[in-house]
Chain A
Amino acid sequence: MTEAQQIDYEAQGYIVVEGGFAPDEFRRVQAAFDGAEASGGLEDLPNRDDLFIRLAEDPAFFPAVHRIVGDDVQLRSLRGVRLTPDSAGRGWRREVAGLLGVHHPASTLSVQVFLWLDDAPEGGARIAVVPGSHRFKSDLPFPDITYIEEMPHHVALRARAGTAVLLNGNLWQARTRNRSGAPQRLLEYTYVHCWMRQALPDLSPHATEVASSSHNLAQLFGIRTDRADARWYWGRRVEGYPPSAGLPERRFSELKVVGRGVKANE
């Protein structure tokens, strides 16, 4: 993640990543999507093709996800969506609105990655956002609007095949109706922290084996490590990336425990 992207994300609550895939790789993703769809498996992607497991750590977008969420990043869910012509949009919402206990405007509980597999046709569906709204107070009500496009100050994000859109889970977001005559394919990967619950399908033995093939994939898919090691709950860390405590960037004290010394009896 470049410094410019980092500043952009901090200010706007989203970034758009283009051109991260080699043509051959991207064609394989498209073909895997079609294969999964043909077998009715768009909600069961990890069990349909190993590619969807490995895509969770794809260099096209994962380094940015890791920088934003932090070293304890984990996958919450992934699914595929086909937006047929005239398919409905999704209204304005905050993905993390139901999560109690957290001051969301200053926290980052989740990052969604929307990966478009087709060029957006004229009038096609788009991800729409209100830039900067990830810092809005949680109790700020949505305006009473009828149509998605009526949201003040929103931006409908242009996308080509291979564009990855990364959203802070607290950002005001929507997806517009597909008013084109062409279908659009979309992959949605949602990332959270390792101590949060996941909403993945049960992994087959084969998918479990693939996800266990590397330290990072095992963490992303929540494959259990040694439960006797207390670090499995709060302390899982991906390897091979510059350390990240997530965004916004904060400083932490070097002192973790003090005062265990013994005072002499008087």
Chain B
Amino acid sequence: MTPEQARQEYDAQGYVLIRSALNAEELKRVREAFDRAATKGALRDLVNQDDVFVDMVDHPALLPIVRAVVGDDAQLRYAQGGIIRPGTDSGSGWHCDLSGIVGVYLPDSILMTKLFTYLEDVPEDGACLSFVPGSHRYELGHPLPDLAVHEDMPHHVKMVVRSGDAVLMNGYTWHARFHNRSDRPRKVLEYSYVHAWMKTMYEFKDLSPHVQELVMRSHNRRQLFGVPGPEQSDWGRRFEGCSPYRPVEVGV
């Protein structure tokens, strides 16, 4: 899937499923690091746990898609891991992450997007992430139907995925995570991307010196991790290779 195809799908549906984003070798490396982090209870502090989680921020199969969707000013808001144990009623109800946001006309904006990368297969009865396709275009204030259980949501689509697949979701799309009825855990990386002019949910100084060093190696990583750029206001940051933003002014 090319970044352009992914963007078209995302624009139309409010999410896009990216098959086999990680190859077998990458998947093994990420799984091992994930399990170590889980054992330490550090899944919410992922990037400090292993270099592979820093590498996932600008993974060559995923970042071009994030960039095509979010734009040339993309930035990481947070990175964390999650496990849903087998046979648990731990689903989240149908909701929209950005329902409380004011100031932005969300049906025509892309403010925040989440990237889920799956480390285990998620079967039909697993803790499937599910969407109402096209709901990212609903008018602000469009009411959720008053329903009791996940399965009652009309037109929903379940993400039945294989390990190594990834799903990119618009933060304004109606979604839910179903209860895990299967016999296997759901292990997933959750990376949230926003724009460089928005705040991150971590402080760069809270990253370990080693991770800071990894981040400082490239222009794009410095932007992705929100390291201030003295040469450019955060309102005009762009990835390397783009035309630098120059405010247009006319008249003297």
- A residues with a Cβ closer than 8 A to B are 69-72, 88-93, 96-103, 105-109, 142-151, 174, 177, 193, 195-197, 199, 233-235, 245-246, 250-263, 265
Contact = CB atoms under 8 A, between A and B. Distances in A.
Given A107-B104, A253-B141, A146 B199 contact: no
A233 B105 CA distance: 19
Contact of A98 (B104, B109, B235, B249): B235
Given A69-B103, A99-B195, A251 B141 contact: yes
Where chain A touches its partner, the secondary structure class is loop
B234 A199 contact: yes
Contact of A255 (B102, B140, B144, B149): B144
A69 B157 CA distance: 36
Contacts of A93: 247-250
Given A93-B247, A142-B250, A70 B104 contact: no
A252 B94 contact: no
Contact of B197 (A144, A196, A251, A260): A196
Contacts of B23: none
A83 to B, nearest CB: 15
A259 B153 contact: yes
B152 interface: yes
Interface of B: 70-73, 89, 91-95, 98-105, 107-111, 140-153, 176, 179, 181, 195-199, 201, 233-236, 245, 247-252
B142 A253 contact: yes
A92 B249 contact: yes
B141 A250 contact: yes
A103 B199 contact: no
B197 A99 contact: yes
A71 B102 contact: yes
7 contacts: A93-B247, A101-B195, A107-B105, A108-B103, A147-B252, A233-B201, A253-B99
A97 B250 CA distance: 14
A96 B103 CA distance: 13
Task: Say whether chain B's binding surface is mostly helix, strand, loop, or mixed.
Answer: loop
The 7 closest A-B pairs by CB, nearest first: A91-B249, A106-B105, A103-B108, A260-B93, A148-B251, A70-B102, A100-B71
A181 to B, nearest CB: 20
Given A91-B249, A234-B101, 8 more contacts: A70-B103, A72-B102, A100-B70, A100-B72, A107-B109, A258-B94, A258-B145, A261-B149
From B143, B145, B151, name the one whose CB has the most chain A CB atoms within 10 angstroms: B143
Given A91-B250, A101-B111, A199-B233, A259 B150 contact: yes
B249 A255 contact: no
A252 B101 CA distance: 10
Contacts of B195: 99-101
B89 A193 contact: no
A262 B199 CA distance: 36
Contacts of B179: 262
A258 B146 contact: yes
A146 B249 CA distance: 11
A245 B102 contact: yes
B151 A263 contact: yes
Given A106-B105, A144-B250, A195-B198, A235 B100 contact: yes
A103 to B, nearest CB: 4
A147 B141 CA distance: 44
A193 B249 contact: no
A234 B151 contact: no
Given A103-B105, A260-B93, A91 B70 contact: no
A259 B103 contact: no
Contacts of B147: 258-259
B92 A250 contact: no
B190 to A, nearest CB: 14
A98 B183 CA distance: 49
A91 B252 contact: yes
Nearest to B75: A197
B193 to A, nearest CB: 10
B103 A97 contact: no
Given A196-B198, A256-B95, A92 B109 contact: no
A221 to B, nearest CB: 14
Nearest to A263: B149
A98 B247 contact: yes
B250 A98 contact: no
A255 B150 contact: no
A71 B101 CA distance: 10
